[in-house]
Structure 1
Amino acid sequence: MTGPPRMVFTRRIEKDLIDCSWLTPWPNRHGEPQRRFLARRACLILHKNKEVNFKLWKEAEAYGDIQLMPFVDYYSLLTYKTIAICILGTKILRAKYIMKMDDDAFVRVDEVLSSLKGKPSNGLLYGHISFESTPHRDKDNKWFISDEEWPHSSYPPWAHGPGYIISQDIARFIVQGHKERDLTLFKLEDVAVGIWINQYETSGKKIEYSNDDRFYNAGCDTDYMLAHYQNPRMMLCLWEKLQKEHKAECCE
């Protein structure tokens, strides 16, 4: 891997919590401490309160680890967040792989890096992948999709949003498509990435859909790379277990 992997986050509090847990040096499988190697930048979305935005701007100036994004944070704008992360990972940080994860996810960075060995450097979607899933047509469902939004009976393969990895060439395709207004915009961010990758594949590129269930876990199991839905207490518990017992497992 050329250069350090890049990690970006979308909220300051969660970023600080992660920064003092799984982004600090962790022990490897032999219990030996490993040095910090991650370059990361917090991607923060603007707040509706101008005073909050001013404080964010001052913090960005002071610490240099924040990338402010020029839109207000709403669930419906998650897709644009991902596009912005792809811009950051191709235009500014130049990452070989880009990992998008939710800020309530605990990531076993050592396991992620180990699993990437042998993976292709181009055309890679790596995560917990759904193949031929169908749109939710129930209007009361949080993920409701109308026939107008998606007229097809199924989606292309997509990786679940808590955490997945794409190669840089896919990120570049997304950035270029956004620039040229060629992307099919879709409100479900993780499905949208699958749709864009399908567009990339249709253009003649080879895609490896690498499915791994270890990207989808509640943290009550040691064999995982990403544990989702972790509150601050559980995040710190997992980190302490990893430090003391060389395994990150906490059960409520």
Structure 2
Amino acid sequence: MGAGFLHKQLLVCFSAFLFLLVVIIHQDAPGTLQLGFLGALRGEPVSAEQRQGSPTFQWRGTEEERAGDSMPVPVPSRPPATTRHPLQVVYPYNYRFLLNEPDKCRDRAPFLVLLVVTEPKDITVRNAIRQTWGNESAVPGVSMVRIFLTGVHPRYGSPLQRLLEEESALHRDIIQQDFLDTYNNLTLKTLMGMEWVSTHCSNASYVMKADSDIFLNVGFLVRQLLQPQLPPKKDFMTGHIYRNTGPLRSKAYKWYVPREVYPNNTYPPYCGGAGYVLSGDLAKKVYGAAQTLRVINMEDAFLGICLYKLGISVTNSPWGLFNVFWLEYEKCRFSRLVLVHHYGPTDLLRVWPDFQGGNKTCPS
């Protein structure tokens, strides 16, 4: 009797653990169907079909878009504050560049532009990235340009602005527009980067948008995935692809998207915002499409909407190259990945010397 009771208690505890683990993963990747998750826990292989899901996106759009999907929809430059939902992103709008680097690509056609999302206060973060994966000389023989994207701090804009201007004068790698730097304005920050590429670096072969809290194996990205010896791809975008996802309607989540902002129940397939790569020609097309769409406060999903509008599909990359979760550092494992999420400046500076060092030979 005692053994049976103990066995039942263990089963209950294990079931509770599985439930909590699913909830945690679901919150870290909002809206994602965790296909094959329980099978993976049991050690069963996950098929490519399970990993990719099936495209079930259904487009509703606004009334104007439904009335004439093939025609650009005129959008007022700034919706009246009385009718605009607080989370509705104000776009298109003539945001001014407070810091700019218009000459970065004047005398070169970079193979890769790194657009790194940061906050105005992130001086330590930017310095760590400059010393590690953001070093423009990280891949010998390959021309790279590093640009940090930022807005205006909601509370300490003026004192931080002076520091940003000094940092910008020293490194010449920061661009900034006059929107507030908030989580819900992340889409504006990314579109600023697309605008900068379209206007000042339209000769780039590839563009990567990256969060600032990642480990990026830029050598593997360039040599193995993008392959500079081949002609640049066109209409190309890849990363960690989310399918069969939809907006979270609960205000308890920071990823909350109300119906007033986005009426659809699902998103088209899109690449997770920790880091994704697109061809230079597509960066310009995405920026153009954004001028005709209602911009939403989920930046990565919005780029998927732009691709849907353009009739372009995301491109599958080898499974696991873009790792949106944290992994314990191990040199050989990291040498076969493009990115790993949740690596701050201290972690980067700690592991980078070993990663760059030749003290360990990894099997091919």
User: By the TM > 0.5 criterion, same fold?
Assistant: yes
What is the DSSP-based 3-state SS (H/G/I as helix, E as strand, rest coil) of the residue aligned with 1:187? Answer: coil
Paired letter, 1:97? Y
Match of 2:200 in 1: 92
1:234 maps onto 2:327 in alignment: no
Cα drift, residue 193 of structure 1? 0.6
Cα drift, residue 154 of structure 1? 1.7
Q: Point out where structure 2 has 5 or more consecutive residues left out of the alignment.
A: 1-108
Match of 1:139 in 2: 251
Distance 1:56 1:63 in 2: 10
- Larger-Rg structure: 2
Q: Deviations over 1:116-167 (max 9, x none)?
A: 1369622112000011212223332222223333333321001111000122
Question: Which of the numbers 207, 225, 230 marks the counterpart of 2:313?
Answer: 207
Question: Which of the numbers 10, 16, 19 marks the counterpart of 2:130?
Answer: 19
Distance 1:160 1:199 in 2: 18
Distance 1:63 1:163, change over 3 A: closer
Distance 1:146 1:44 in 2: 25
Distance 1:211 1:149, change over 3 A: farther
Q: Deviations over 1:34-67 (max 9, x none)?
A: 4674221222322333122123224323442222
1:225 maps onto 2:331 in alignment: no
Distance 2:352 2:143 in 1: 17
Distance 1:153 1:68, change over 3 A: closer
What is the DSSP-based 3-state SS (H/G/I as helix, E as strand, rest coil) of the residue aligned with 1:209? Answer: coil
Kept after mapping to 1: 8 A contact 2:271/2:301: yes
Distance 1:231 1:163, change over 3 A: same
TM-score, normalised to structure 1's length?
A: 0.82
Distance 2:274 2:220 in 1: 16
Distance 1:207 1:119, change over 3 A: farther
Question: Which of the numbers 156, 163, 178 marks the counterpart of 1:55?
Answer: 163
What is the DSSP-based 3-state SS (H/G/I as helix, E as strand, rest coil) of the residue aligned with 2:316? Answer: strand
Alignment of 1:1-252 (within 5 A): 3-9=110-116, 10=118, 11-24=122-135, 34=140, 37-47=143-153, 48-94=156-202, 95-113=204-222, 114-117=224-227, 121-178=233-290, 181-201=291-311, 206-212=312-318, 213-216=320-323, 217-220=325-328, 221-222=333-334, 223-245=336-358
Distance 1:242 1:64 in 2: 27
Where in structure 1 do 4 or more consecutive aligned residues deviate above 6 Å? none
Kept after mapping to 2: 8 A contact 1:12/1:42: no
Distance 1:50 1:166, change over 3 A: same
Paired letter, 1:129? I
Distance 1:226 1:141, change over 3 A: same
What is the DSSP-based 3-state SS (H/G/I as helix, E as strand, rest coil) of the residue aligned with 1:210? Answer: coil
Cα drift, residue 208 of structure 1? 4.4
Distance 1:35 1:184, change over 3 A: same
Kept after mapping to 2: 8 A contact 1:86/1:174: yes
Cα drift, residue 84 of structure 1? 0.5
Greater strand fraction, Structure 1 or Structure 2: 1
TM-score, normalised to structure 2's length?
A: 0.58
Q: Deviations over 1:81-129 (max 9, x none)?
A: 1100101122112322110110011110111112113696221120000
Q: Point out where structure 1 has 5 or more consecutive residues left out of the alignment.
A: 29-33, 248-252
Paired letter, 1:225? V
Distance 1:237 1:60, change over 3 A: closer
Paired letter, 1:116? L
Paired letter, 2:132? S
Distance 1:172 1:194 in 2: 15
Q: Deviations over 1:163-188 (max 9, x none)?
A: 0012223221232234xx41230111
Distance 2:171 2:215 in 1: 24
Number of equivalenced pairs? 235
